[in-house]
Structure 1
Amino acid sequence: MATKAVWNGAVIAATDTYESVEGNVYFPPSSVNMQYVKPSSTNTSCPWKGQASYYTLVVDGQENKDAAWYYPAPKPAASNIKDYVAFWKGVKIEKAAAQAV
């Protein structure tokens, strides 16, 4: 089942496999279209996941500041999402419906 992150008409990430944590879809780093992503200096901290870093999305000249985040060095309990990217701030997560066989 393909899952996509879409913003401003562009597919920012697409994958068949992902991690789900606290209701957020975390996309594997290889599934992220880096042409739409630029590093941000923003960081936040989660008590059990560790320090998050952010990306700003840029599509057709429009920016969505800090609309994606990831954990480059997560705490052990969150090691399954190391470098995986999650989205918010208007980024739509679309999950394709399973097809009948």
Structure 2
Amino acid sequence: MLIKRFEDLKTKHPELPVILIFGGENKELGLNKTYLEDLLSENQFPYSVFYNKENKFFGLNHLEYFPYERNDVQMYLVKEGQVFSSAEMGIPELFEKQVQDFLQP
């Protein structure tokens, strides 16, 4: 489960700051702020979360140049307010390399 990967990340790289941006609502699936709060609380999610009901984060931060089909599920490594790279948490070996590159001074 993805939450387990975040727990592992917190243990392995406690110095890595993470903020989850949860974008939009899906009333048909019951995905809303209450669902998010319950899920993260039940799983003791180790990071800060920003709930972006109107899903404006993508456009306001000019992230349209990243070639993703779904802009509601994305991860970035951000340094000094600028996107350093995408973060491919679903590919563990690549993600570890991305984190290591990001953490280099």
TM-score category by the smaller chain?
under 0.3
Normalized per residue, which structure has more strand? 1
Higher relative contact order (CA 8 A, sep 6+): 1
TM-score of the two chains, using structure 2 as the length reference: 0.25
Of the two, which has the highest radius of gyration? 2
Normalized per residue, which structure has more helix? 2
TM-score of the two chains, using structure 1 as the length reference: 0.26
